[in-house]
Amino acid sequence: MENPRTPINPSEEAALELIEQCVDSSSEQSGISREDAVSHLVDDGIEQADANARIKQLLLKGYLYEVDNELRIPPRR
């Protein structure tokens, strides 16, 4: 039996969706830099400190992972 993912709150879910859109729109890359992710969240009206906090929580909860300074989204099971 698989372990379920740690739930995320609505603000984290919205941040994840925005990051997913950014990764999908840059088809030549498999991820996005943390700085670019923060910038996109700020452009969407999220305070910079909150953007950093949401990214940190998404990393801690396994919804994002980081490789070579690039945020990536793990495949869904």
Asked if 75 contacts 26 with a C-beta cutoff of 8 angstroms, the reply is: no
* Whether pLDDT at 2 is above 60: no
Kindly state the average pLDDT of the residues 8-30. Answer: 85
How does residue 9 score in pLDDT terms, banded at 50, 70 and 90? very high
Kindly state the average pLDDT of the residues 11-23. Answer: 93
Kindly state the average pLDDT of the residues 55-71. Answer: 94
The residue ranges of every structural domain in the chain are 10-72
CA-based nearest residue to 65, from 1, 2, 5: 5
* Whether pLDDT at 31 is above 80: yes
DSSP 44: T
Task: Determine the straight-line distance between the first and last CA of the chain, rounded to whole angstroms.
Answer: 12
What DSSP element (H or E) covers 67?
strand 65-67
Give the separation between CA 31 and CA 75, rounded to whole angstroms: 12
* Whether pLDDT at 27 is above 60: no
Mean pLDDT of the chain: 88
